[in-house]
Structure formats: structure tokens, C-alpha cells
Amino acid sequence: MDGRIGDISTPGRLAEPDEGVGLDELALAARNHGLPLEALRYDLTPAGLHYVLVHYDIPAAEADDWQLTVSGLVRTPLTLDMRRLRSLPAVTHRVTMECAGNGRARLQPRPVSQPWLVEAVGTAEWTGVPLRTLLAGAGVEPDAVEAVFTGADHGVERGIEQDYQRSLPLSSALGEDPEVLVAYEMNGLPLPPQHGYPLRLIVPGWYGMAHVKWLRDITLTDTAFTGFQQAVAYRLRQSPDDPGEPVERIAPRALMIPPGFPDFMSRTRVVRPGEVPLEGRAWSGHAPVTRVEVSTDDDGSWSEAAIDPPDGHGWAWRRWRAAWSATPGSHVLSVRATDADGRTQPLTQPWNRGGFANNLVQQISVLCLESD
Ligand SMILES: Nc1nc2c(c(=O)[nH]1)N[C@H]1C(S)=C(S)[C@@H](COP(=O)(O)O)O[C@H]1N2
Ligand SMILES: [Mo]
């Protein structure tokens, strides 16, 4: 699997100052899609509206002959088919998943990759077997430090052919909070092909790249995994030679359902004067969201929104609501979330070479009409 014709250590490219979105980015944007922001109204995102991100091709997969292997530093290597996995005690978790590249399209300079604005997010109920159960069945050897997860999809990165692979430290793989799942259902139905059919990893609270789809192997190792998606991509780097920090948990973010209706070309929102209900969702992968604030006049003033109670684990977004008295003219609406650890969202753009974990406050331009 390693036709070594490229330099895998090269981090991604930045767009030139005047460079528009290129054909390679349009091709990515055409196969992946975001959550239409009005779908923030649903507690549970209907599967077809959940964002999708696929690096390579959706692999051909049949549940009937799918096999998950658990190998490496285990006492008893396992080969599990779907029937066996479904016979094990299952749990269901409601989890908000967000792509680490969400917000990337607005960065200056712009990393050349999937150009998300803010819509790479969704919430689903995932059903499957706790990873812990499978690892206990296999018996992890004491010198194991990581679990490496391999998907059935395959492609070339910087000239090197490889499978989609990511790892988790053993402490996270075996942990109870969050509880990592090997999931075979999304919202009570078999996984759709684009979301990993028939089997994927779910790592509540972590950015999307950790949730390996089309999962076919788990290997326990005594060294840290250095594959492309772990050690080259998905690191917070300021320069190409900066080793950077790994991208892991989701930074807090609140999003607002754009109020009123769109002006089709400018995408400005249009409302009529008077009370305009504002609503959206807020989440954080570090700790539950405890505060959501809304600003309606771009003058630095914020007022607190009401937040719905969290669900049991706090791995899913919370709905927030506020009311706005709209007056004729142009307005900028903003919303920001703060979590129980005190993490919040910046008002000025943070930057790193991959455009990861970017949680700049959302701003929506609204034109309020003269009274009708
Ligand atoms: N095997 C495999 N798993 C993968 C990916 C992939 O390309 N291949 N993309 C990852 C990324 S970057 C994200 S953001 C999430 C997206 O999951 P979704 O498409 O179900 O929303 O899947 C992750 N798991
Ligand atoms: Mo992602």
C-alpha cells in the first residue's frame, strides 16, 4: 500500500492572495455537503441533512460479508461479522459532529481544502457497541498505547497511496467519558453509505476526522501512529515546519438559523420591523455549553439567550432562543457560546495552516425593511 512517489511530510497548500476557489476545491465541495442552517431547528438532524465529508471514494460495502478485525497487541485477535456485532449489548448516544475544517473558507490566507463556511455540523443518534467491550473481548496487552482504526476507503496523499487511518490514545479508546462507539445505526437505521455503512467509529466530543467510517480494522500498537491523517494533516500549525498540536476536541460554537428570508443573490437576510425570534444551537466538545450570548447591533453589546436543558451526556448541541426587536435598516447579528470550562469563541479570526478548529463568531447581515 505504499507507492512512495511523493513527500508525505509536506503540509497542505495556501491559496495565493488573489486566487479564487479552484477546480480541485469545487470538486471537493461538489461531493461533500453541509447542513442547511435552517436544519438547526431539528434536535436530531435528518440523516440526509447531516453534513458529509468523504476524503476519497465511498467504498463498495455489503453488511453480509463485512468483517471487523481487532489485532496487534491483543491476547486474542478477533474477526467479527455484523451479526456478531449486533448480538453484543448496544448503546445509543446523541452526538454532535463537526468537521475540523468548519469555518475554513473565510481564512486569509486560505488553506486549499474543502471550503466550508460554518455548516459542517450535524447531530445524530448513533447505535453500536462500546469500543471498550470489543477491546475487553480481545484482551489488550499491557504495552499497548494506541488503537489505530482503518477504513475501507483508499487514496493518494502527497503522492503516497494509503487507507484512511486515525488513532486514539488507549486512555481515550477505553474511556467512559466520552464513550467511543463502533456504530452500525444512525438515527435508528443502518448507516447510509456516505456515513460509513456498515460500520464506523464515533468519538463523542472530537472533531469529525476521528470518527473513522467504513471501519474494517482496529490494531493495538506500542508506538504512536504516524500516518498522514494523524501526523501530517489535522495538526494546528503556524508554518510548514511547525510540528503543531494535534486536532482533537471540538471548540465551542453557536450558530443561528438565519432569520427572515434570503435575498437570493446577496444572501443578506430580509426581515420586517418588530419582534423577530432568533434561535439556533450551541455545542462544545470540551464541556457542556453553559452560556449563549447574542449581539444584534455590532456595537459590542451582548445579551444572554435562553438555553434548553442539555441531554444526558452533553455530547449533543443545545437549542438556544432569543428575541430581537428589529428596526428598519442594516444590522449584523452575532452569537457566541461559552462552555463550562470557560472556553468561548473569538471575535477576530484565529489562523492555522490547515484552517482547523476555527470557531470565529458567526455574523449574519440582515436588512430590516421599512414597515409594510
Ligand atoms: N474512512 C473515512 N472516515 C472518515 C473520513 C473519510 O474520508 N474516510 N472523513 C472524516 C472526516 S474529516 C469527517 S469531518 C467525518 C465526517 O463524517 P460524516 O460524513 O458522517 O458527517 O468523517 C471522518 N471519517
Ligand atoms: Mo472533517
Residue-wise pLDDT tens digits, 40-98: 999 999 999 999 999 999 999 999 999 999 999 999 999 999 999 999 999 999 999 99
**Ligand 2 centroid, distance to 258 Cα (angstroms):** 24
As for ligand 1, residues whose beta carbon falls within 6 Å of it are 50-55, 97, 99, 151, 153, 164, 194-195, 208-209, 211-214
Among 13-17, 243-247, 303-307, where is mean pLDDT lowest? 13-17
Number of domains in the chain: 2
**Residue 159 Cα to ligand 1 middle (Å):** 21
Question: Are 216 and 341 in a shared domain?
Answer: no
Residue where a domain stops, chosen among 196, 216, 246: 246
| Pair 313, 241 in one domain | no
Cα(30) to ligand 1 centroid in Å equals 16
Q: Are residues 242 and 257 in the same domain?
A: no
Q: Does some domain include residue 10?
A: no
For residue 120, the CA-to-ligand 2 centroid distance in Å is 8
* Distance between Cα 148 and ligand 1 center (Å): 15
Please count the CA atoms within 13 angstroms of the CA of 39 that sit on its side-chain side. 17
In a domain, 216, yes or no: yes
**Residue nearest atom 20 in ligand 1 by C-alpha distance:** 195
Q: What is the pLDDT of residue 372?
A: 65
* DSSP string of 53-102, one letter each residue: --SS-PPP--GGG-EEEEEESBSS-EEEEHHHHHHS--EEEEEEEE-TTT
pLDDT tens digits, 194-238: 999 999 999 999 999 999 999 999 999 999 999 999 999 999 999
Question: At 281, which amino acid appears?
Answer: R
Q: Which of residues 193, 212, 246 is at a domain's end?
A: 246
The predicted pLDDT at position 8 comes to 61
Residue 296 has a pLDDT of: 94
Is 12 among the domain residues?
no
Which of 181, 213, 180 is CA-nearest to residue 198? 213
pLDDT bin (cut points 50, 70, 90) of residue 10 is low
Give the number of the atom of ligand 1 that is nearest the alpha carbon of residue 214. 1
Q: Does residue 16 sit within a domain?
A: no
Q: Which residues surround ligand 2, an ion (CB under 5 A)?
A: 53, 99, 208-209
Task: Looking at the structure, tell me whether residues 231 and 324 fall in a common domain.
Answer: no
Q: Is residue 309 part of a domain?
A: yes
Helix (H) and strand (E) counts for the chain?
A: 4, 22
83 lies in the same domain as 173: yes
Boundaries of domain holding 145: 25-246
pLDDT at 4 over 60: no
CATH code assigned at 309: 2.60.40.650
Domain shared by 81 and 148, yes or no: yes
Residue nearest to atom 11 of ligand 1 (CA): 209
| Whole-number average pLDDT of the chain | 94
In angstroms, the Cα distances linking 128 to 59, 86, 203 are 21, 8, 12
Closest ligand to Cα 104: 2
What pLDDT digit, counting tens, does each position of 129-184 carry?
999 999 999 999 999 999 999 999 999 988 889 999 999 999 999 998 899 999 99
pLDDT of 20 reads 84
Judgement on whether residues 268 and 191 belong to the same structural domain of the protein: no
User: Do 181 and 159 fall into the same domain?
Assistant: yes
Do residue 286 and residue 175 come from a single domain? no
Q: Is the pLDDT of residue 1 over 50?
A: no
Residue 48: CB atoms within 10 Å: 10
Q: Tell me: the pLDDT tens digits for 273-285?
A: 999 999 999 999 9
Q: In sequence order, what are the beta bridge partners of 149?
A: 166, 218
Residue 229 falls inside a structural domain: yes
- Looking at the chain, the whole-number percentage of residues with pLDDT higher than 90 is 85
| In the predicted structure, residue 19 carries a pLDDT above the cut 60 | yes
Whether residues 330 and 188 share a domain: the answer is no
Ligand 1 atom with the smallest distance to the CA of 56 is 7
pLDDT of residue 329 exceeding 50: yes
Contact, 56 vs 154, CB < 8 A? yes
Task: Verify that 39 and 152 share a domain, yes or no.
Answer: yes
Distance 76 CA to ligand 1 centre (A): 29
